[in-house]
Amino acid sequence: MKVLIYFDDYDTVKESGVGKAIDHQIKALKLADVDFSLDKNDEYDICHINTVFPKSVLFADKAKKDGKKIVYHAHSTKEDFKNSFKFSNQIAPIFKNWLVYSYRKGDIILTPTDYSRKILEGYKLDREIKVVSNGIDLDFWKKKDGDRENFYKKYGLDKNKKSIISVGLFIYRKGILDFVELAKRLPQYEFVWFGELNLNLVPENIKRAVKTDLKNLHFPGYVKQDDLRQAYSGSDLYIFPTHEETEGIVLLEALAMKTDILIRDIEIYENLIDGKEIYKAKTIDEFEEKSIKILEAQLPSLKEEGYKKAEEKSLKKIGIRLKEIYEDLLERE
């Protein structure tokens, strides 16, 4: 059995969650001793596709014509496309139709969570949908000596202040407006948002938020993985104010780093228990109140319990799961 991880679109998505998912699949398959290739000209039995660009869909057609099995990985939904770019809400119904067309190319569809599977089942794809987490590389996401000092020095943060970070594109769905509002309300803390997006693609309110002139608010843009690892390790609180996700790899990273975490209370994270494994908030006022309580040790740290949730999604376990799915697919008529 040999698997082709379709790689032609990687440069386009490498800075996104889909890009990270592809990176994780590559390492997971290595850990599970699965023979795979990134070269579409190699011989292979199964093609695993993660993107929904026209080129990807056309390749799925070619692979199917050549008698290959297709695994289509559904990372996107109409729901998480909305509230992202300019006119995304207007385009969302068309995007959903394209997703349906693309995902139906698969003999089987994979998606990261039970929540996203439930959404996709509503699309009536007429395909089996299996849940496989994007996983987390526990070997990489570990604290190191000097992380805090390096993090504060690199971004010019006030050493006398505690720090709050978040990670994501400059889009409403990721909760950037609430993050900026928190920075205004809590000048006693440093706020750092990692990630970026061409501001010509976002609405005016997002542009204004990113350009907000606050001494305690920093936008370093897209950074290398080790810089992000240092930030998780060196900061005092990770906030994930996202409104919609199919999984949220950055949350898995924060859990793996044993970071104190505060997330928005949304349906996809109902399996994470507020006050046991993680802290949750629904409103901006609640985010403000809980941020202070976590940072001032008025609430207990949940780092160790949160780490257990990351362990459940190690890349070794994901590789074994993928291998089982591939082998089962090849045995089918």
CA pair distance 143, 202, nearest whole angstrom: 34
pLDDT, position 85: 74
- Average pLDDT, integer, range 210-224: 95
Task: Quote the percentage of the chain above a pLDDT of 90.
Answer: 91
Q: Is the pLDDT of residue 27 over 90?
A: yes
Q: Is the pLDDT of residue 157 over 90?
A: yes
Q: Is the pLDDT of residue 333 over 70?
A: no
Q: Is the pLDDT of residue 40 over 80?
A: yes
pLDDT, position 173: 93
The per-residue pLDDT of the chain, averaged, comes to 95
Establish how many alpha carbons lie within 13 A of residue 312's alpha carbon, considering only the half-sphere containing its beta carbon: 11
> Could you read off the pLDDT of 134-144 as tens digits, one per residue?
999 999 999 99
pLDDT, position 16: 86
Q: Is the pLDDT of residue 6 over 90?
A: yes
pLDDT, position 198: 86
Task: Quote the percentage of the chain above a pLDDT of 70.
Answer: 100
Are residues 79 and 120 in contact, defined by beta-carbon separation less than 8 angstroms? no
Burial of 237 (0-12, 13-18, 19+ CB in 10 A): buried
- Average pLDDT, integer, range 197-208: 88
What does R_g of the chain's alpha carbons equal in angstroms? Answer: 20
CA pair distance 138, 78, nearest whole angstrom: 31
Sheet strands (E) in the chain = 2-5, 35-37, 46-49, 69-73, 108-111, 129-131, 163-167, 190-194, 217-221, 237-240, 261-264, 279-281
Are residues 43 and 63 in contact, defined by beta-carbon separation less than 8 angstroms? no
Are residues 50 and 75 in contact, defined by beta-carbon separation less than 8 angstroms? yes
> Could you read off the pLDDT of 225-282 as tens digits, one per residue?
999 999 999 999 999 999 999 999 999 999 999 999 999 999 999 999 999 999 999 9
Q: Is the pLDDT of residue 115 over 90?
A: yes
Q: Is the pLDDT of residue 318 over 80?
A: yes
